[in-house]
């Protein structure tokens, strides 16, 4: 058998090679950042909408409990979604760090003056904001999903966990600061990803800039509502009927 008679093996490696070349290119990393960033936006919008059930009239504690239980009832699908979220965050952060390193290596001496760049607070806080958000998410999962360090955590009672958790002033402050950084990160990220994916040319006053602002404001205000309302004492104590608390799903 000659070397030229082995196209099948080469063909099976080709997609992997193409993927590798795509990931190694700066454009490939930016596309990965854009796509995973858009996935992240989908998650935060859904999460924020779920949190607003805290304001459901009548029995918000029960609504939040059933929402949390409903997620657990997804069973393996919930774990697939969680794994997908972790993969997205890891890809997003790895591509960002590699692009930063690449840019630094290409220009060890910084520009004395940058002309023609649209620099917003969002753009300037991308790195610090990204790191703060990563730390926030670790704290937040320990606090609200696992109850580590929470003063009175009850599994599958998110209403009262949030109500009591936000009686700690420093936790309210951390959430508020993290959510403001999330808004800035989203604003710049939503705007930049639009350009990376080639949906629009760079410009300082395009329509999608307003869409990015609206999205960032919507998510920021929606997320701020719960810690701020809790700090103001708006949420009354409520009891949850939790007959499903000891099912296997409840242990996830
Ligand atoms: C500031 C307002 C927020 C509130 C009130 C809130 C509330 C909650 C609650 C109650 C849980 C536990 C749900 C459960 O165990 O069923 C949770 C989980 C979670 N939150 Fe938030 N959250 C907020 C902001 C955020 C932000 C800004 C992010 C990410 C950028 C985020 C990411 C997550 C993640 C990844 C989980 C774990 C989900 C899982 O267990 O699969 N949250 N959140």
% helix, strand, coil for the chain, step of 5: 75, 0, 25
List, for residues 12-41, the tens digit of each pLDDT value: 567 888 899 999 998 899 899 989 998 999
- Sketch the domain layout of the chain as residue ranges: 28-103+219-252
Which carries the bigger pLDDT value, residue 247 or residue 127?
127
Task: State the CB neighbour count (10 A cutoff) for residue 52.
Answer: 13
The rounded distance, in Å, linking the Cα atoms of 106 and 100 is 10
Give distance in angstroms: CA of 101 to centre of ligand 1: 31
For helices 7-24 and 26-51, the axis angle rounded to 10 degrees is 70
Across the range 112-132, mean pLDDT stands at 68
Q: For ligand 1, is residue 82 a contact (CB within 6 Å)?
A: yes
In this prediction, residue 153 carries a pLDDT of 96
pLDDT of residue 243: 66
How much distance in Å is there from the Cα of 96 to the middle of ligand 1? 23
- pLDDT in the model for residue 208: 76
User: Using CA atoms, how far apart are residues 138 and 155, in angstroms rounded to an integer?
Assistant: 18
Alpha-carbon gap, residue 234 to 228, rounded angstroms: 9
User: What is the rounded average pLDDT for all residues in the chain?
Assistant: 84
* pTM of this structure: 0.85
Mean pLDDT of 87-99: 92
Identify the pLDDT of residue 248: 41
Residue 83 clears pLDDT 90, i.e. is over it: yes
Q: What percent of the chain has pLDDT over 90?
A: 60
For residue 54, pLDDT over 80 is answered with: yes
- What integer pLDDT is reported at residue 127 of this predicted model? 80
Whether the Cβ atoms of residue 156 and residue 68 lie closer than 8 Å to each other = yes
- Residue 61 and residue 68 in contact, taking contact as beta carbons nearer than 8 Å: no
**Mutation test residue for ligand 1: of 70, 145, 251, the one with most atoms within 8 Å of CB:** 145
Whether 180 contacts 244, CB under 8 Å: no
Q: What whole-number distance in Å separates Cα of residue 30 and Cα of residue 15?
A: 20
Average pLDDT over residues 224-246: 88
Residues 129-182: tens digit of each pLDDT: 888 999 999 999 999 999 999 999 999 999 999 999 999 999 999 999 999 999
Determine the distance separating the centroid of ligand 1 and the alpha carbon of 114, expressed in angstroms: 38
pLDDT value of residue 158: 96
């Amino acid at each position: 058998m000659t070397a030229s008679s082995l196209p099948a093996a080469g063909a099976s490696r080709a997609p992997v090679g193409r993927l590798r070349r795509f990931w190694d290119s700066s454009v490939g990393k930016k596309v990965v950042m854009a796509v995973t960033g858009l996935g992240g936006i989908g998650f935060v919008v859904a999460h924020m909408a779920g949190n607003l059930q805290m304001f459901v009239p009548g029995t918000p504690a029960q609504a939040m409990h059933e929402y949390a239980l409903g997620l657990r009832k997804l069973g393996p699908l919930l774990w697939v979604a969680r794994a997908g979220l972790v993969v997205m965050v890891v890809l997003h952060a790895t591509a960002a760090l590699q692009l930063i390193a690449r840019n630094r290596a290409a220009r060890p001496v910084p520009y004395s003056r940058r002309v023609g760049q649209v620099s917003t607070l969002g753009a300037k806080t991308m790195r610090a904001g990204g790191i703060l958000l990563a730390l926030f998410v670790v704290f937040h999962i320990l606090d609200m999903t696992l109850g580590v360090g929470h003063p009175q955590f009850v599994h599958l009672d998110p209403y009262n966990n949030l109500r009591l958790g936000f009686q700690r002033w420093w936790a309210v402050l951390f959430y508020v600061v993290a959510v403001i950084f999330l808004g800035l990160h989203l604003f710049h990220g939503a705007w930049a990803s639009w350009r990376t994916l080639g949906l629009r040319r760079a410009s300082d006053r395009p329509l999608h800039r307003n869409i990015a602002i609206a999205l960032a404001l919507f998510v920021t205000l929606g997320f701020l509502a719960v810690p701020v309302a809790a700090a103001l004492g708006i949420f009354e104590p409520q009891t949850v009927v939790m007959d499903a608390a000891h099912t296997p799903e409840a242990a996830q």
